[in-house]
Amino acid sequence: MRNALVLALVLSVMGCVSSTPAAAQETRAGRERGSVDARVRALLSGIESAPTREELLALGTEGLEALIRLHGDTQEIGAIRLRAITCAGWFEGPRAHEFLVGLSRAPGQDALHLRAALRALAAREGTQAVEELVRHAGHADVAVREAVLVSLATLSTMESVSAADRRAVRTTLEGLLAHETDQELASSIRARL
């Protein structure tokens, strides 16, 4: 009987603690975060459609954080995790940069995730991403090398990039292509130039 009374007292105290204003606020924040995560997940889940940049950017920093959480969830569907990487590249600011660079530098990173991170980094940062791209030019996986070379080829032809930067990127790209072991890939990239 005494144990039952102690248990009842403990449970009632726990009920009082969880209903404090701080706990209520934390619960509300968790629901809101869950709501944003659910919305972002729904946007990323389209089979015949993908989210637009405007839809995700309208969610602000909460949208970016939701993308990062979805990517970090190893139980999540692979396609959603990959789309999360690409879409994170649409966001401005240091948090998106840190996320993408962190993925590109993570030891043992899955080649498809690394490829997506490099492409997103190049798309968002332009010639500022060249050093990070070149870091992976000798990667063992052809999909990663292809991402590096295609990203550099794109940067070397963009009109919005200064002529001097285009020349520097093209020189870097030609140097990488000279050492590319996959001649079919090298020929394909040269054809884009």
Listed in sequence order, the residues at least 6 apart from 109 whose beta carbon sits closer than 8 Å to its beta carbon are 103, 117
Residue that the structure tokens 């975060």 belong to: 33
Listed in sequence order, the residues at least 6 apart from 121 whose beta carbon sits closer than 8 Å to its beta carbon are 89, 97, 100, 101, 104, 129, 132, 133
Q: What does the pLDDT read at residue 4?
A: 53
For 34-79, the pLDDT digits (tens) are 689 999 999 999 888 888 999 999 999 999 999 999 999 999 999 9
Q: What does the pLDDT read at residue 18?
A: 45
Compute CA 52 distance to the chain's CA centroid, rounded to the nearest angstrom: 15
pTM above the 0.85 mark? no
Asked if pLDDT for residue 5 goes beyond 90, the answer is no
Q: What does the pLDDT read at residue 49?
A: 82
Tell me how far apart the alpha carbons of residues 62 and 171 are, in angstroms, rounded to a whole number: 40
Asked if pLDDT for residue 184 goes beyond 70, the answer is yes
Radius of gyration of the chain (CA): 23
Q: Nearest to residue 176, comparing CAs of 123, 146, 115?
A: 146
DSSP state of 181: S
Percentage of the chain surpassing pLDDT 90?
Answer: 60
Q: What does the pLDDT read at residue 26?
A: 42
Asked if pLDDT for residue 105 goes beyond 90, the answer is yes
Q: What does the pLDDT read at residue 10?
A: 42
Amino acid at 72: G
Q: What does the pLDDT read at residue 2?
A: 59
Distances (CA, A) of 41 to 12, 29, 63, 70: 37, 18, 10, 7
